[in-house]
């Protein structure tokens, strides 16, 4: 069973461990270039948890996928990572749709992401969600306009959070581990 929930700043080490488990090709896709382990650690260390949301997909107590939203003003940038064994199962699309709902509910009006031209999984997600796509050399920019929050989007997020809490109670492996 998969639990979707935002990570807390105290869970930065869990997020780092997830990113370190990405294969070289998946790191290249996530960061648009190869990153060393130290660079991955530095990336997580630079997250401003007051201005960012890291929404995780937790399976068996481990983060197996995550969407990172870094926002300023009325727009946010999205980045996604899914571990190899959990790819091609719809997890990325589920994370992105949940992230869009969270962004709407926080007053954000747009989401954008950049990916390499050969990142077919991200381009498929962009196409399914009707992104405005532009190409610049080997990079692709995908832009999404968000509708304002409404009762339905607020209820969706509330139900998702409530369902995650219930799932974590029933499946203790979904809970963060004490240090």
Q: How far apart are CA 97 and CA 175, in angstroms?
A: 23
Contact indicator for 91, 46 with CB cutoff of 8 Å? no
Statement: residue 179 has pLDDT above 60:
no
> What's the CA gap between 164 and 168, in Å, rounded?
6
Question: What pLDDT score was predicted for residue 171?
Answer: 52
Q: Is the pLDDT confidence value at 169 over 60? A: no
Question: Going by CATH, does the domain composed of 2-174 fall within 3.40.630.30?
Answer: yes
Taking the model in full, what pTM does it have? 0.86
H or E segment at 58? strand 52-59
Q: How far apart are CA 76 and CA 113, in angstroms?
A: 9
Give alpha helix (H) positions in the chain.
12-20, 24-31, 37-45, 91-105, 120-128, 151-170
> Once rounded to an integer, what is the mean pLDDT over residues 89-115?
95
Burial 125-135 (b: 16+ CB within 10 A, else e): bbeeeebeeee
Average pLDDT of the segment spanning 79-84: 97
C-alpha distances (whole Å) from 2 to each of 24, 79, 178 are: 25, 20, 20
149 touches 107 (CB < 8 A)? yes
pLDDT bucket at 65, cuts 50 / 70 / 90: very high
Q: Which single residue is written with the structure tokens 């949301």?
A: 53
What's residue 160's pLDDT? Answer: 80
Per-residue pLDDT of 115-133, as tens digits, reads: 999 999 999 999 999 899 9
The whole-chain average pLDDT of the chain stands at 90
pLDDT cut 70: percent of the chain above it = 90
> What average pLDDT does the segment 107-114 reach?
95
User: Domain locations in the chain?
Assistant: 2-174
Whether 30 has a pLDDT exceeding 90, the answer reads yes
Sign of dihedral through CA atoms 161, 90, 87, 144? Answer: negative
């Amino acid at each position: 069973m998969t639990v979707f929930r935002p990570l807390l700043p105290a869970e930065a080490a869990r997020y780092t461990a997830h990113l370190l488990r990405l294969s070289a090709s998946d790191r290249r896709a996530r960061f648009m270039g190869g990153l060393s382990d130290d660079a991955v650690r530095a990336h997580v260390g630079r997250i401003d948890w007051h201005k960012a949301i890291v929404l995780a997909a937790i399976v068996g107590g481990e983060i197996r996928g995550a969407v990172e939203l870094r926002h300023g003003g009325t727009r946010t940038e999205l980045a996604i990572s899914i571990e190899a064994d959990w790819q091609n199962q719809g997890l990325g699309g589920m994370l992105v749709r949940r992230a869009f709902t969270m962004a709407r509910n926080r007053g954000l009006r747009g989401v954008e992401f950049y990916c390499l031209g050969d990142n077919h999984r991200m381009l498929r997600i962009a196409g399914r969600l009707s992104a405005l796509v532009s190409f610049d050399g080997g990079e692709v920019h995908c832009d999404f306009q968000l509708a304002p929050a409404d009762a339905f989007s607020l209820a969706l997020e509330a139900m998702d959070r409530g369902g995650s809490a219930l799932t974590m109670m029933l499946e203790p492996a979904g809970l963060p581990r004490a240090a």
